[in-house]
Structure 1
Amino acid sequence: MTKLSVQKTDTFSGHRDCVYTLQPALRPNHFFSAGGDGMVVQWDLARPDWGEVVAQVPASVYAIAYDSADNQLWVGQNYEGIQRIAPYEKQTISSIRLTSAAIFDIQFFEDQAFIALSDGVVTVMDKDRFAVRKHLKAGAQSARCISINPVSREFAVGYSDHTIRIFGLDDHLLHHTLVSHTNSVFTVHYSPDGRYLLSGSRDAHLKVWNVTDNYQLHQDVVAHLFAINHIVYSPDARWAATCSMDKSIKIWDAETFRLLKVIDRARHAGHGTSINKLLWSGVENQLVSAGDDKRIAVWTIKSS
């Protein structure tokens, strides 16, 4: 039986409001964060005392996305649009007035960017031209999260109407509508091999969908006490991690979805508020978490 050990390595502080999102950076030990204070900050895992503001926008930021091919950071400025930033030069390259809605997620695939909006629209943009290609309106309530499956050439969108909708990456047509959650779907994540789609909801359930079996529900786990805010896989795809409004992080076996470890305030001096986002770094298998407590924590995960 696999046993995991968890050590809290560092705590990063500097944000003046809730931290909502995390993204990797060009350098393996660097990452970006953003949140309710409108600041986009670059951090170094090796230097918890150092943080550099690369952008400041006059609204809260729920979504950023790093384009490693062009070394550009897309920043979703709520109720305004998208800014493209050169993070190391701290310069705005371009911006687009996209929406008057909140921007919940930004994901890239090939030459496309997919943006989930609170008015239920998923906007498809040409990444290179920085121009809108299409608006996909499949639900009346918020589009909350997006995940890309390059194997099946599909992308999944979780909505506040409790559903997950699967679209084609090439035709942008609706392929499937998955109905099982009983509340807003806050996070979706395809497994690295494309076999499964994991989803987490305000209903606190972690659901596993079998992509190769026409998205049949494979497993349903009562995973947390309150809403599941985010799901990530470890770099080696052995484990999956969930974080929740119940202030805990849980590590799961990625094949059986058996619970392996709980990281919380009582046992590991974890977050004292809702945990909003996770980033699993390839550097020493470190898991980064961000929460409403304005702090970012770094956890070293080891198996025995």
Structure 2
Amino acid sequence: MIEIKNTGILPGHQNPVFTIESGLEPHTFFTAGNDPGIVKWDLRQMKHEKVLAKVNTSVYALHRPVTRPILLTGERSGQVSAIDLVNEKPLKVLSLHRFPVFDIKTSGRKGLIYVASEDGYVSVWSLEDFHHVYTFQVSKDTVRSISLSPDEQQIAFGCRDNSIKIYDTAELSPVAELEGHTMSVFSLQYSPAGNYLLSGSRDAQLKIWDTASYTQVRSIPAHMYAINHISFHPGHRWFATASMDKTIRIWRLEDFAPVKTIDLAGMGGHALSVNKLLWVNDRTLVSVSDDKNVMVWDISLESEENPG
């Protein structure tokens, strides 16, 4: 039986919180949303440490590359900023998009930054010196989400036109277009082994795609409303989904079975849409919401992982 406890409700934001990302230290993380700043939190103290940086418009995306100690931020204005996390100072502003930036990912092997925007384009930047490398149109509508395959050979884009576009990262050429969702694709995640691509949509469906053929394996009515985010547990056997229906669900990757639901009534969960999740470690999940709260969850998977 999985055991879940709410170990902290961290107030501080005055407006909805849209995104979350890990810090350099295992006990720190960052959040941002409709507030005029990016907040740094300390899990040891269970409180906010400081405002890392001020922003001019809402922040929809935060991303920390594995290979460099910086934080990349995507704003409603289209601006992308790089913040030096060692000195905690602004480093560079990447100006190109004129519409909101919804997702940012990086390739450590290629040393590239990928930025997805409401304008339907994806811009590519050097992770080393931040020069603009390339821009290409993925959709005639908004590009909402990005996921890189574990081997970084392919990159998937979730779009507002209900489609998922798969590109080869070597030439940035299209490989496949996946159709099946009936509304915008809000979240994409390749499985840790790379054999599946999981997609979550405004249509509340969780779809599983086989990456060898990019055919649909399963379609699961996972939530009542939009699936905002999909996040894999560090142990790779589990994943969590966050939804506009105010709930978080824990799933078993082996058979895509739901094993636990975190909600307001039963567990003191969020009162409004859950927007993003972060596994801080193999027992700690942090969630952010339109209700302005940051919540910390202690999740024990030991009994499920080691039956008997």
Give 5+ residue unaligned stretches, structure 1: none
Match of 1:298?
296
Match of 1:155?
155
Match of 2:306?
none
Q: What SS does the corresponding residue of 1:267 show, helix, strand or coil?
A: helix
The one-letter code matched in structure 1 to 2:216 is: L
Match of 1:248?
247
The one-letter code matched in structure 1 to 2:94 is: I
Distance in 2 between the 1:152 and 1:79 partners? 29
Residue deviations 1:209-235, cap 9 Å, x none? 0112x1110111000000000000000
Residue deviations 1:18-76, cap 9 Å, x none? 11111111111111111111311111122113331100111000011113433111111
Match of 2:57?
59
Residue deviations 1:217-262, cap 9 Å, x none? 0111000000000000000011110010000000110110011000
Q: 1:30 and 2:12 equivalent?
A: no
Q: 1:112 and 2:107 equivalent?
A: no
The one-letter code matched in structure 2 to 1:172 is: L
CA shift at 1:97, angstroms?
A: 1.6
CA shift at 1:88, angstroms?
A: 4.5
The aligned runs of 1:29-108 (5 Å cut-off) are 29-108=27-106
Give 5+ residue unaligned stretches, structure 2: 304-308
Higher mean displacement: 179-188 or 128-137? 128-137
Match of 2:137?
137
CA RMSD of aligned residues (A): 1.2
Contact 2:12–2:48, Cα closer than 8 Å, also in 1: no
CA shift at 1:152, angstroms?
A: 6.2
Cα separation, partners in 2 of 1:267 and 1:19, compared to 1, 3 Å: same
Match of 1:11?
9
| TM-score (norm: length of structure 1) | 0.96
**Percentage of identical aligned residues:** 37
Residue deviations 1:165-209, cap 9 Å, x none? 001111100100000000000000000110100000000000000
| TM-score (norm: length of structure 2) | 0.95
Distance in 1 between the 2:153 and 2:36 partners? 34
Higher mean displacement: 131-140 or 79-88? 79-88
Distance in 2 between the 1:129 and 1:121 partners? 21
Distance in 1 between the 2:236 and 2:33 partners? 28
Distance in 1 between the 2:146 and 2:162 partners? 14
Contact 1:74–1:82, Cα closer than 8 Å, also in 2: yes
Q: 1:226 and 2:225 equivalent?
A: yes
CA shift at 1:81, angstroms?
A: 1.4
Match of 2:273?
274
The one-letter code matched in structure 1 to 2:7 is: T
Contact 1:152–1:194, Cα closer than 8 Å, also in 2: no
Q: What SS does the corresponding residue of 2:266 show, helix, strand or coil?
A: helix
Moved over 3 A (4+): none
CA shift at 1:151, angstroms?
A: 2.6
